């Protein structure tokens, strides 16, 4: 079995990261269905056709020999449906329709997702004995034959969770550092999402920066399957160490707080792109790359591949979404506190004027429309009618840990402090809100005609 497992795991490395979680958990080692059709084991790796799961009949008297059952493995095609897909394997229509109908109280098979795998166990006379399908990263559906009826059951994959410490040092990028630590790039994105209100991962990272995190890793049959939650983390950026602790001050709403109880989440993200590079900064005098004249550049340019998702840095209302000759396709969002944000040179706009948008919601795609020399995003911030430097403004945080919950927060925080190698902080000073939300120079006040500068 170890040789089969190793061969399977070599194949999974070729699967794109976004698809590994669902596929890698289900397409793994042979799965033995118990008397109620459940999976006994599942490990990370792609399950080959030679090592498919096999079903155990639920009535011992009617149990066929294992060699009499044929296992069929397939993948749902785009625009496919459950009925036509199963009939395509030569199954009896009456049985397929009965399986779909009798599964409906537990799961509506009309909601199958293209690209996900499925397993069928079929007797030589095309008698359908069982159907198995992954619902998400944590659950699967099995529908097994019991006499003249089909019984649907939703089960959880039997993960074993281990809490582990992962650390790394930045040499070139966070992705590279995570790879050096023998971890998946998905974990780099999860870590960046925790600190994205305080660190711009395009502009702020420096060689020698470091991180340490305490993360859940989930295993099946002794093999790594996927990551769970990051329970605590520290990130040292330019000699400044930030900490984050996962805590639920409200039931069912996990959030990240600093060691003193301040919320990491702020009203605005540091950047509307996850990872890119800055090609032009906020400036009072810059040579325009197209017009070849010197004039203010009232935003920050991020170079990114064409079509890269652009997100709203904060919740608000779309003031305008359209095109201008210089800014190209542009979205302007009005936020609370007298703030506005602008996103220029988009190739595609995905919101409409008047619509409400949430923080981190995709509003468009990076393009090169208007006066532009190549794919990039020109991002701008206005406060009370004046343009301000997006990389310098300090936005107010979300509410801190409530006083009534702080003692419980300390009991969660302190065991992680030692594992992160950080001493316990002193009493938190009042948790006051920042008062300087961005000092502005009067020269940065500009009419709408300056948006494309």
pLDDT of residue 32 exceeding 50, the answer is no
Percentage of the chain surpassing pLDDT 90? 48
Range in 156-160, 190-194, 296-300, 319-323 with the lowest mean pLDDT: 296-300
Q: What is the mean predicted confidence (pLDDT) over 374-392?
A: 88
26 versus 233: which is more confidently predicted? 233
446 versus 146: which is more confidently predicted? 146
- CATH code: domain of residue 302: 2.70.70.10
Q: Looking at the structure, do residues 263 and 328 belong to the same domain, yes or no?
A: no
Q: What is the mean predicted confidence (pLDDT) over 104-126?
A: 91
Q: How far apart are CA 385 and CA 388, in angstroms?
A: 9
pLDDT at 288: 57
pLDDT at 237: 93
> Residues 390, 272: contact at Cβ < 8 Å?
no
For residue 241, tell me if it sits in a domain.
Answer: yes
Phi, psi of 269 (to 5 degrees): -75, 160
For residue 413, tell me if it sits in a domain.
Answer: yes
pLDDT at 63: 46
Range in 17-31, 317-331, 378-392 with the lowest mean pLDDT: 17-31
pLDDT of residue 21 exceeding 80, the answer is no
For residue 440, tell me if it sits in a domain.
Answer: no
As beta bridge partners, residue 255 has: 247
Q: Looking at the structure, do residues 219 and 239 belong to the same domain, yes or no?
A: yes
pLDDT at 440: 37
For residue 145, tell me if it sits in a domain.
Answer: yes
pLDDT tens per residue, range 86-114: 999 999 899 999 999 999 999 999 999 99
Q: Residue 56 corresponds to which tokens in the numbers above? A: 């155990």
Tokens 């009896």 -> residue = 92
pLDDT at 294: 62
Which residue range(s) make up the domain with 364? 277-395
Q: What is the mean predicted confidence (pLDDT) over 393-401?
A: 80
How confident is the prediction for the chain on average, in pLDDT? 79
pLDDT tens per residue, range 260-294: 999 998 888 888 987 667 777 766 655 556 555 66
pLDDT of residue 204 exceeding 90, the answer is no
Q: Looking at the structure, do residues 218 and 302 belong to the same domain, yes or no?
A: no
Q: How far apart are CA 102 and CA 346, in angstroms?
A: 48
User: Which one of 138, 156, 174 terminates a domain?
Assistant: 156
Range in 217-221, 346-350, 396-400 with the lowest mean pLDDT: 396-400
pLDDT at 275: 67
Number of domains in the chain: 3
pLDDT tens per residue, range 164-198: 999 999 998 899 999 999 999 899 999 999 998 88
For residue 345, tell me if it sits in a domain.
Answer: yes
Q: Looking at the structure, do residues 108 and 237 belong to the same domain, yes or no?
A: no
Query: pLDDT-derived band of residue 372, with 50, 70 and 90 as boundaries?
Result: confident
For residue 327, tell me if it sits in a domain.
Answer: yes
Percentage of the chain surpassing pLDDT 70? 75
Query: pLDDT-derived band of residue 348, with 50, 70 and 90 as boundaries?
Result: very high
Q: Identify the CA nearest to 420 among candidates 204, 171, 211.
A: 211
The whole model's pTM is what? 0.60
Query: pLDDT-derived band of residue 202, with 50, 70 and 90 as boundaries?
Result: confident
Q: What is the mean predicted confidence (pLDDT) over 362-380?
A: 90
Q: Looking at the structure, do residues 262 and 406 belong to the same domain, yes or no?
A: yes
pLDDT at 308: 92
Q: What is the mean predicted confidence (pLDDT) over 135-161?
A: 91
Q: What is the mean predicted confidence (pLDDT) over 342-361?
A: 94
For residue 441, tell me if it sits in a domain.
Answer: no
228 versus 36: which is more confidently predicted? 228
pLDDT tens per residue, range 411-434: 999 999 989 988 766 555 444 333
pLDDT at 199: 87
pLDDT at 59: 38
Q: How far apart are CA 148 and CA 442, in angstroms?
A: 80
Considering only the C-alpha atoms of the chain, give the largest distance between any 2 of them, rounded to a whole number of Å: 88
Query: pLDDT-derived band of residue 67, with 50, 70 and 90 as boundaries?
Result: low
Q: Identify the CA nearest to 262 among candidates 397, 403, 414, 396.
A: 397
pLDDT at 68: 80
Q: Looking at the structure, do residues 41 and 147 belong to the same domain, yes or no?
A: yes
Q: Residue 77 corresponds to which tokens in the numbers above? A: 């095609």
pLDDT of residue 6 exceeding 80, the answer is no
Q: Looking at the structure, do residues 227 and 311 belong to the same domain, yes or no?
A: no
Q: Identify the CA nearest to 321 among candidates 363, 358, 375.
A: 363
> Residues 71, 121: contact at Cβ < 8 Å?
yes
DSSP secondary structure, 56-115, as one string:
PPS-GGGPPPGGG-EEEEEEPPTT--HHHHHHTTT--HHHHHHHHHHHTTT--GGG--TT
pLDDT of residue 309 exceeding 60, the answer is yes
- CATH code: domain of residue 124: 3.10.450.350
34 versus 452: which is more confidently predicted? 452
Q: How far apart are CA 320 and CA 333, in angstroms?
A: 7
């Amino acid at each position: 079995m170890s040789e089969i497992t190793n061969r399977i795991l070599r194949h999974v490395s070729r699967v794109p990261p976004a698809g590994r979680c669902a596929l890698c958990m289900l397409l793994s080692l042979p799965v033995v269905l118990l008397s109620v059709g459940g999976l006994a084991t599942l490990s990370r790796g792609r399950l080959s056709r030679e090592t498919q799961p096999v079903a155990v009949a639920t009535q011992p008297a009617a149990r066929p020999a294992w060699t009499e059952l044929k296992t069929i493995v397939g993948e749902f095609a785009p625009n496919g449906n459950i009925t036509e897909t199963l009939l395509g394997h030569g199954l009896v229509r009456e049985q397929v329709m009965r399986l779909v109908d009798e599964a409906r109280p537990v799961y509506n098979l009309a909601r199958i997702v293209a690209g996900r795998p499925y397993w069928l166990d079929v007797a030589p006379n095309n008698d359908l004995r069982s159907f198995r399908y992954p619902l998400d990263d944590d659950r699967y559906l099995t529908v097994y034959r019991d006499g003249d009826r089909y019984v649907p059951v939703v089960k959880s994959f039997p993960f074993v969770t281990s809490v582990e410490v992962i650390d790394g040092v930045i040499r070139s990028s966070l992705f590279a550092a995570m790879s050096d630590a023998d971890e998946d790039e998905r974990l780099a994105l999860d870590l960046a999402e925790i600190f994205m209100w305080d660190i711009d991962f395009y502009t702020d990272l420096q060689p020698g920066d470091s991180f340490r995190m305490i993360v859940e890793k989930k295993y099946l049959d002794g093999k790594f399957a996927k990551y769970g939650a990051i329970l605590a983390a520290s990130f040292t950026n330019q000699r400044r160490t930030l900490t984050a602790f996962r805590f639920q001050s409200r039931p069912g709403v996990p959030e990240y707080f600093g060691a003193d109880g301040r919320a990491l989440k702020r009203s605005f993200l540091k950047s509307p792109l996850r990872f890119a590079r800055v090609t032009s900064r906020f400036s009072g005098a810059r040579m325009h790359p197209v017009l070849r004249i010197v004039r203010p550049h009232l935003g920050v340019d991020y170079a990114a591949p064409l079509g890269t998702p652009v997100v709203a840095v904060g919740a608000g209302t779309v003031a305008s979404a359209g095109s201008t000759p210089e800014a190209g396709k542009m979205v302007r969002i009005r936020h609370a506190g007298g703030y506005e944000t602008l996103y220029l040179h988009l190739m595609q706009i995905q919101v409409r004027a008047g619509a409400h948008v949430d923080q981190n919601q995709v509003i468009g795609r990076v393009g090169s429309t208007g006066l532009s020399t190549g794919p990039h995003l020109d991002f701008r911030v206005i406060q009370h009618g004046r343009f301000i430097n997006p990389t310098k403004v300090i936005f107010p945080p979300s509410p801190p840990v409530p006083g009534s919950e702080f003692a419980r927060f300390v009991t969660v925080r302190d065991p992680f402090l030692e594992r992160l190698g950080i001493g316990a902080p002193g009493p938190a000073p009042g948790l006051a809100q920042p008062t300087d939300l961005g000092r502005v120079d009067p020269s940065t006040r500009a009419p709408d005609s300056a948006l494309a500068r």
